């Protein structure tokens, strides 16, 4: 799948034509997965382009590298300005996905990565609509387990970690499902390859805690806050595998997936086979918020123009 990339990318502090942003084949990250990335969305509401929760993304961007002492040689303000700047430079007036990343550059075959290892930072963007069918998708538990803090830090959003997501997705697709669900090292529900998971049981909104190796998703956090503001019971706890198929509702959250209902889990229909009431409410709230139609949450948005 070739992305409809915008004309310019931001590369180590400069705007360059996309085809000119190149790296040597000896780049460490290509060999060892020593790259850190964020996925950010910006929403065009006809008047302005609003970047969703930019501060939180920039903070996680830096924190991910800190697990491995990989240096991000630009300040948070510089990264923030660059995210806004790349949208402006490309005159982006459509809802889009923004991908900032940094990676260890030419560092030989050295596995002793320190803060002195050379790094580069780049940001690209492209127009982006729905990742999944918003009427609901199917999902299945896969045999691969989510890696845990016993092997590598799950909170580091790093290239290498996504091999686990890739092999899980391959298995789910082979089994005929739209998306994979991974269990944690104890056999409880962790998350999807690129999304957090929520279930609804007896009106309660439940999501696995970070101890189940789930990424501390920014959309997950938004749903927890919105749920509480709507006076729902929002609970972080272990979710057993068998609870999935007996849930009233299930949905995934993520920057790319936004709020995506799961209507069939391990081939069993969830609820009445259509997005449930709480899921629909969350989807409605979320789209109002990102379109800057809800003043209570306008502090989550950064205007580009
Ligand atoms: C493994 C994983 N879990 C969850 C998420 C959802 O996180 P967020 O809502 O911050 O996009 C992502 C996407 O970033 C992810 O890659």
How many whole angstroms from 125 Cα to the centroid of ligand 1? 18
Q: Work out which ligand 1 atom sits closest to the CA atom of 214.
A: 3
Among 2, 20, 146, 157, the active-site one is: 157
Where does the chain hold its CATH 3.30.470.10 domain(s)? Answer: 8-127
What pLDDT is recorded for position 60? 98
CATH number listed for the domain at residues 137-290: 3.20.10.10
Crossing angle of the two packed helices 218-229 and 277-290, in degrees rounded to 10: 110
Closest-CA residue, ligand 1 atom 12, reads: 194
What pLDDT is recorded for position 202? 95
| Residue 269: φ, ψ to 5° | -65, 140
Query: Is ligand 1 within 6 A of the CB of residue 191?
Result: yes
Q: Give CA 61 to chain center in angstroms.
A: 12
| C-alpha neighbours within 13 Å on the C-beta side of residue 10 | 25
What pLDDT is recorded for position 147? 98
Query: Is ligand 1 within 6 A of the CB of residue 123?
Result: no
Whether residue 146 lies in the annotated active site:
no
Closest-CA residue, ligand 1 atom 1, reads: 194
Where does the chain hold its CATH 3.20.10.10 domain(s)? Answer: 137-290
> Which among 256, 257, 304, 258 has a CA at the least distance from the CA of 93?
304
| H helix count then E strand count, the chain | 7, 17
Query: Is ligand 1 within 6 A of the CB of residue 218?
Result: yes
What pLDDT is recorded for position 2? 85
Q: Which residues of the chain have pLDDT under 70?
A: none
CATH 3.40.50.300 fits 8-127, yes or no: no
Query: Is ligand 1 within 6 A of the CB of residue 259?
Result: no
Query: Is ligand 1 within 6 A of the CB of residue 255?
Result: yes
What pLDDT is recorded for position 1? 76
From 64, 219, 251, 256, give the residue whose CB has the most ligand 1 atoms within 8 Å, as the site to mutate: 219
Which ranges in 11-75 belong to alpha helices (H)? 28-32, 54-66
Query: Is ligand 1 within 6 A of the CB of residue 215?
Result: yes
Run of H or E including 163 = helix 162-174
């Amino acid at each position: 799948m070739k992305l409809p990339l915008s004309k310019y990318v931001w590369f180590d502090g400069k705007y360059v034509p996309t085809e000119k942003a190149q790296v040597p084949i000896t780049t460490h990250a290509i060999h060892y997965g020593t790259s850190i990335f964020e996925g950010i969305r910006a929403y065009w509401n006809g008047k302005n382009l609003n970047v969703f929760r930019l501060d939180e993304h920039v903070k996680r961007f830096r924190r991910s590298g800190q697990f491995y002492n990989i240096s991000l040689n630009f300040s948070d303000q510089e990264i923030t300005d660059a995210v806004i700047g790349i949208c402006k430079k490309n005159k982006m007036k459509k809802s889009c996905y923004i991908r900032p990343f940094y990676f260890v550059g030419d560092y030989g075959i050295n596995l002793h990565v320190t803060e002195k290892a050379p790094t580069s930072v780049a940001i690209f963007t492209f127009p982006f609509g729905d990742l999944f069918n918003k009427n609901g998708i199917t999902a299945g538990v896969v045999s691969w387990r989510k890696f845990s803090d016993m092997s590598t830090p799950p909170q580091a959003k790093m290239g290498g970690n996504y091999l686990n997501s890739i092999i899980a997705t391959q298995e789910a697709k082979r089994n005929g499902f739209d998306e994979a669900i991974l269990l944690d090292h104890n056999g409880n529900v962790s998350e999807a390859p690129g999304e957090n998971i929520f279930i609804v049981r007896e009106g309660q909104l439940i999501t696995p805690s970070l101890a189940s190796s789930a990424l501390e998703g920014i959309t997950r956090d938004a749903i927890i806050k919105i749920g509480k503001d709507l006076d729902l019971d929002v609970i972080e706890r272990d979710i057993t595998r068998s609870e999935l198929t007996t849930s009233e509702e299930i949905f995934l959250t993520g920057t790319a997936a936004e709020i995506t209902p799961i209507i069939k889990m391990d081939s069993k229909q969830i609820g009445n086979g259509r997005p449930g009431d709480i899921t629909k409410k969350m989807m409605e709230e979320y789209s109002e918020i990102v379109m800057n139609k809800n003043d209570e949450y306008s502090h989550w948005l950064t205007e580009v123009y």
